[in-house]
Chain A
Amino acid sequence: MKRGNEYRFVASGEAPTTVEAPYEDVTLGVRNAVREVEELTGHALLSDDGIILPSKGNVGTDLYVTTSSAGGGLQMMVTGVIKTMTAESAERAALGAGAIVMDVISVDDGRRTFQKIDRIRHLRPDMILLSGGTDGGTVRHVLGIAELISTAEPKARLGAGYELPIVYAGNKDARQKINKILGKKFALKIVDNIRPVLSQENPEPAREAVHELFMEHVMSHAPGYDKLMKWTSVPIMPTPAGEGRMFRTLAEMRGVNVIGVGLGGATTNVYSVYDGKFVRTVSANLGMSYSICNVLKEAGIQNIIRWLPFEMDEVAVRNRLRNKMIRPTIIPQLIDALVVEHAVAREALRLGFAHHKSLARGLRGIQRQRTVSDLFEQSLEEETYIDMMRINIIAGTGGLLSHAPRRSQTALMLIDAFQPEGVTKLAQDSVFMMPHLGVLSTVHAPAALEIFEKDCLVRIGTCIAPRGPMEGAGSLAAVHLNMPNGGSRSEEITQGELKLIPLGEGEFAEAEIAPRSNLDVGAGPGHELKTKIEGGVVGIVLDGRGRPLILPDDPTRRRKDLIKWFRAVDAYPQRALERYEKALK
């Protein structure tokens, strides 16, 4: 809403989805959420026909935009010729478009043909992205994959009566034959090759085609979307695409490297904008409600229990997570329940980021000229290009992070899971509006950016964490701060400790950080770093716990440490921490 000369956020409303039976109409849920906004603002927005557009006095609004993740989001299958080359490029493109990748099929994926066909047939994707071959190269393999799809004749998940959309983004020399194989059975769209030459990735045309087909074919078949599409003149965007757009905007606006994460109920999306390169990954089965037990499965129960500052046996933790799985909409009423959820969140974020790093890496299959020094670094070639020391901002969104009762909880979850190095700003989405601002930015960029800066992006603070061997106790770095009020402060980053220095939102301090000789805070081992530090609702967190962060094996020592750290950043109510402490004695 425009207030004076500013675009500002006014109110939010939430309601559960009504995509399922007995309702089978998403607009009912949208109405419920909008009704909440009406109640909170006293401004009428709804009529029998939907949202009142445009506004007239005290009624209606000038613009209505929407994103959608209903029905589990856009579920895609991608195919390529070589697993680590074209198939990987296709996977990155589909993920970048906001899809959940159900499976990646390639000539060399180790499965037999009938297994691949069986898989294609049973997964019932919403869309297929078919890639393979460089332009001018051999066409035989990519045509083989096309024939595989043709034989499988996969049926779409939503709406049995329509043709399954397929995007072809492979060798351009195969286009005519691809059309012959797939053109009659599927809604085929042909775009530029995703990997025209081995050394170049060209994801944009495929990404755009995915968005187009998502609107045209997938959305229009979900229950109630025909109605919803008439309510808005702006194309409905998959929720993660909206989210990704805002993380990119953040990185571009500031000219920095950003890691973003959307921790949802069913999935965890991780975004990185690193030296201008944008990568999104989605871990389809890591989440805080529907997928909470898959986090349990993948992380293992002990990795969840290690984050609990109190004793809780395996059986009880398991039952609690299962009860969340079967009734995904419940919320923690008690503090212990909240702490358990935060323990799971740390593991979901950690696993989601590990997955992200496995895709955020250089193009493979390229012949490089090597120097002698390269030979020593050869083993690193397969690893991610993301260097945590060079990440400037880590930002989180999604229900659990946005609704955490204390921002210091979000700060600690992000630090524990991503383990930032050097000087890193932390931020979060205030009320889970990044996806919507992402759509808004496509039609009204100034409003989207202003609201993003003023109401969406909550500056949590800055984390300072030295990297390097942590042997021996005591000081890891001396931190001298010239505070905005004119005073100065000298602090130590101490081994095994967390420390919080208050520095408010919008405030800056000039810092001189001098690490021990073998430690690095961004200027190289043993070198002092002079930099400007931004404050936030939490402040500056000095983290001397080491990278990687290793928790003590002994349960009592570990719980003691956790209580100490939680207390240092004021993460949970004192009375709860005292209770946990008492239980240790």
Chain B
Amino acid sequence: MAYTPGLKVKSEIVLQKTRRLPIPGEVLVAKGAKVDFDTVVARTRVPGDVETIRASQILGIEADDVEELGQYMLKKVGDQVIKGEIIARRISFFGLSKAFVESPVEGTIEHVSDITGQVTIREDPVPVEVKAYIPGRIVDIIRNEGVVVETAASFIQGIFGIGGETHGQIRMAVKSPEDSLTADMLDSSDKGKILVGGAMVAGEALKKAVEIGVRGIVSGGVEDKDLRDLLGYEIGVAITGHEESIVTLIITEGFGKMRMSGKTFELLKSCEGMEAALNGATQIRAGVIRPEIIVPRDRTSAGESRDDRAVFSKGMQPGMMVRVIAEPFFGAIGTILSLPVELQDVESESAVRILEVQLEDGRKAVVPRANVEIIEL
């Protein structure tokens, strides 16, 4: 049945990132311009919150006469108002009865409804900026919306992450992919850095990283319990990236103690000392988003630019390398020996499509096809 295309781990790739404003605004850089991580490439002002006031009610206008509201307005659509300012007034019975409508906020009158008798006031706009996120060259401008930045980089996708975009210098905090990153392995000199762990990052290390001001951590695994302690709440549906005032964390393999894949570890090691961009945002839903580590390289030509669709549309074939992504062989890497068509029973008695795989440690194993991912060589 299902099989998962492996996560990308590429040493050289030409990468493009679209950087877009949430609503139209001003693009601040020109095509061909060189940008750095923090270069502001576009800016806009997002409309402020909206407040509605039941003006006709306050003024005592009968329900059938709400269309009269306009004649009592002291301010018209487009006018600026300050908090507490009187925007409508109704004097009746020769001045014996007076009613006023005050603006509850500072903003602009947006709408005066002669249907519902409501006045809408929009608060002042909030400035929003979009940064380049990765250093590189602007290769395209999306008019009034943003830019496309291109860079040559090493690119690694994680399986799950928390925390948003950041950048910092990579430091290998462990010696091998089996090691755990513990609190004693980091100190104040790690402020602003991206630390790479091995199989696991301990809960105490996460806490210390936040205290020190470490920008990011990349690890094979993490205990879910430690993640909950760090966030202070339980993640329900896997939509992350908006977490604030924590360290950006990317796990590459899964939850629990998970040896980081050799390829990923070696690639990160080769990038030690370099500046990397990191984004923990993950969405496992329609429109899947995986977290990423981008290490810009001083290259201009593409190293690998295979069409993933071509690779995966072939489906699984004997001889392909796969990684098992569930118990009992979780994390093991091997070569597909055969892909029998018939359904077979596994230990759980589920009748599933399986594959036979020659594992790197010499064992032969039978695994449901759904429980492997294809590894690109």
Tell me the smallest distance from the CB of A558 to a CB of chain B, in Å. Answer: 22
A405 touching B111, Cβ below 8 Å: no
Chain A residue with minimal CB distance to B349?
Answer: A405
Tell me the smallest distance from the CB of A364 to a CB of chain B, in Å. Answer: 25
**A325-B238, A331-B352 as given contacts; A290 in contact with B327, CB under 8 Å:** no
Inter-chain CA distance A266–B234, complex, in Å, is: 17
| Most chain A CB inside 10 Å of its own CB: which residue of B110, B224, B352 | B224
**A293-B236, A403-B350 as given contacts; A333 in contact with B325, CB under 8 Å:** no
B341 contacts the other chain (Cβ, under 8 Å)?
yes
- Which range holds the interface residue count of chain A? 35 or more
A159 contacts the other chain (Cβ, under 8 Å)?
no
List, in ascending order, chain B residues with CB within 8 A of A266's CB.
285
A322 touching B349, Cβ below 8 Å: no
A333 touching B1, Cβ below 8 Å: no
Inter-chain CA distance A332–B352, complex, in Å, is: 10
List, in ascending order, chain B residues with CB within 8 A of A331's CB.
326, 350, 352, 368, 370-371
Tell me the smallest distance from the CB of A322 to a CB of chain B, in Å. Answer: 4
Could you jot down 15 A-B contacts, CB within 8 Å?
Answer: A15-B1, A72-B286, A112-B51, A113-B50, A143-B113, A151-B111, A297-B235, A323-B326, A326-B255, A326-B284, A327-B325, A330-B326, A331-B371, A338-B348, A406-B349
B12 contacts the other chain (Cβ, under 8 Å)?
no
B129 contacts the other chain (Cβ, under 8 Å)?
no
Interface residue SS majority, chain B = loop
Binary contact readout A309-346 vs B (1 if CB under 8 angstroms, 0 otherwise): 00000111011111101111111111101100000000
A144 touching B118, Cβ below 8 Å: yes
Tell me the smallest distance from the CB of A41 to a CB of chain B, in Å. Answer: 13
Interface residues of A in 134-167 (CB under 8 A from B): 138, 140, 143-144, 147-148, 151
Interface residues of A in 12-57 (CB under 8 A from B): 14-16, 19-20, 22-23, 28, 39
A65 contacts the other chain (Cβ, under 8 Å)?
no
Contact pick for A147, options B116, B309, B328, CB 8 Å: B116
B224 touching A144, Cβ below 8 Å: no
B255 touching A20, Cβ below 8 Å: no
Binary contact readout B229-263 vs A (1 if CB under 8 angstroms, 0 otherwise): 00000111110000000000000001110000000
Interface residues of A (CB under 8 A from B): 14-16, 19-20, 22-23, 28, 39, 70-72, 112-114, 117-118, 138, 140, 143-144, 147-148, 151, 177, 180-181, 266, 285, 290-291, 293-294, 296-298, 314-316, 318-323, 325-335, 337-338, 403, 405-406, 573
**A319-B224, A338-B350 as given contacts; A16 in contact with B1, CB under 8 Å:** yes
B237 touching A293, Cβ below 8 Å: yes
Inter-chain CA distance A28–B309, complex, in Å, is: 11
List, in ascending order, chain B residues with CB within 8 A of A28's CB.
313
Inter-chain CA distance A505–B309, complex, in Å, is: 47
B347 touching A298, Cβ below 8 Å: no
Inter-chain CA distance A329–B330, complex, in Å, is: 14
B298 contacts the other chain (Cβ, under 8 Å)?
no
Inter-chain CA distance A265–B376, complex, in Å, is: 28
A290 touching B285, Cβ below 8 Å: yes
Interface residues of B in 157-207 (CB under 8 A from A): 159-160
Inter-chain CA distance A266–B236, complex, in Å, is: 12
Chain B residue with minimal CB distance to A314?
Answer: B225
Chain A residue with minimal CB distance to B365?
Answer: A333
B254 touching A326, Cβ below 8 Å: yes
Contact pick for A333, options B66, B118, B347, CB 8 Å: B347
Chain B residue with minimal CB distance to A155?
Answer: B23
B49 contacts the other chain (Cβ, under 8 Å)?
yes
Tell me the smallest distance from the CB of B362 to a CB of chain A, in Å. Answer: 20
A285 touching B352, Cβ below 8 Å: no
B350 touching A405, Cβ below 8 Å: yes
Tell me the smallest distance from the CB of B51 to a CB of chain A, in Å. Answer: 6
List, in ascending order, chain A residues with CB within 8 A of B313's CB.
28
Inter-chain CA distance A458–B265, complex, in Å, is: 50
Contact pick for A319, options B223, B370, B373, CB 8 Å: B223
Inter-chain CA distance A234–B288, complex, in Å, is: 30
B2 contacts the other chain (Cβ, under 8 Å)?
yes
B2 touching A329, Cβ below 8 Å: yes
**A14-B1, A114-B51, A117-B49 as given contacts; A318 in contact with B159, CB under 8 Å:** no
Inter-chain CA distance A320–B256, complex, in Å, is: 8
List, in ascending order, chain B residues with CB within 8 A of A329's CB.
1-4, 370
Interface residues of B in 305-362 (CB under 8 A from A): 308-309, 312-313, 325-328, 330, 341, 345-352
B95 contacts the other chain (Cβ, under 8 Å)?
no
List, in ascending order, chain B residues with CB within 8 A of A143's CB.
113, 115-116
Chain B residue with minimal CB distance to A298?
Answer: B236
Tell me the smallest distance from the CB of A85 to a CB of chain B, in Å. Answer: 19
Inter-chain CA distance A118–B328, complex, in Å, is: 46
A297 touching B236, Cβ below 8 Å: yes
B117 touching A327, Cβ below 8 Å: no
Tell me the smallest distance from the CB of A298 to a CB of chain B, in Å. Answer: 7
| Most chain B CB inside 10 Å of its own CB: which residue of A151, A321, A328, A332 | A332
Inter-chain CA distance A333–B254, complex, in Å, is: 17
Chain B residue with minimal CB distance to A403?
Answer: B350
Tell me the smallest distance from the CB of A91 to a CB of chain B, in Å. Answer: 20
A332 touching B350, Cβ below 8 Å: yes
List, in ascending order, chain A residues with CB within 8 A of B254's CB.
319, 322-323, 326-327
List, in ascending order, chain A residues with CB within 8 A of B367's CB.
333
**A140-B116, A331-B350, A334-B327 as given contacts; A294 in contact with B236, CB under 8 Å:** yes
Interface residues of B in 99-138 (CB under 8 A from A): 110-111, 113, 115-118, 120, 123
Contact pick for A20, options B111, B159, B287, B352, CB 8 Å: B287
Tell me the smallest distance from the CB of A543 to a CB of chain B, in Å. Answer: 24
Inter-chain CA distance A548–B352, complex, in Å, is: 36
List, in ascending order, chain A residues with CB within 8 A of B113's CB.
143, 147
A70 touching B286, Cβ below 8 Å: yes
A333 touching B328, Cβ below 8 Å: yes
Inter-chain CA distance A548–B51, complex, in Å, is: 48
B74 contacts the other chain (Cβ, under 8 Å)?
no
B63 contacts the other chain (Cβ, under 8 Å)?
yes
Contact pick for B225, options A113, A151, A318, A406, CB 8 Å: A318
Tell me the smallest distance from the CB of B237 to a CB of chain A, in Å. Answer: 5
Binary contact readout B32-68 vs A (1 if CB under 8 angstroms, 0 otherwise): 0000000000000000011110000000000100100
List, in ascending order, chain B residues with CB within 8 A of A118's CB.
49
List, in ascending order, chain A residues with CB within 8 A of B234's CB.
293, 296-297
**A325-B284, A326-B284 as given contacts; A147 in contact with B120, CB under 8 Å:** yes
Chain A residue with minimal CB distance to B251?
Answer: A326
Contact pick for B237, options A23, A113, A148, A294, CB 8 Å: A294
List, in ascending order, chain A residues with CB within 8 A of B225's CB.
314-315, 318
List, in ascending order, chain A residues with CB within 8 A of B110's CB.
151
Chain B residue with minimal CB distance to A25?
Answer: B309
| Most chain A CB inside 10 Å of its own CB: which residue of B116, B284, B350 | B116
Chain B residue with minimal CB distance to A341?
Answer: B348
Contact pick for A330, options B63, B287, B346, B371, CB 8 Å: B371
Inter-chain CA distance A140–B341, complex, in Å, is: 64
Chain B residue with minimal CB distance to A330?
Answer: B326
Listed from nearest, the 7 A-B pairs whose CB atoms lie closest are A405-B349, A114-B49, A294-B236, A329-B2, A322-B255, A318-B224, A319-B256
A405 touching B348, Cβ below 8 Å: yes
**A20-B286, A332-B350, A338-B348 as given contacts; A285 in contact with B371, CB under 8 Å:** no
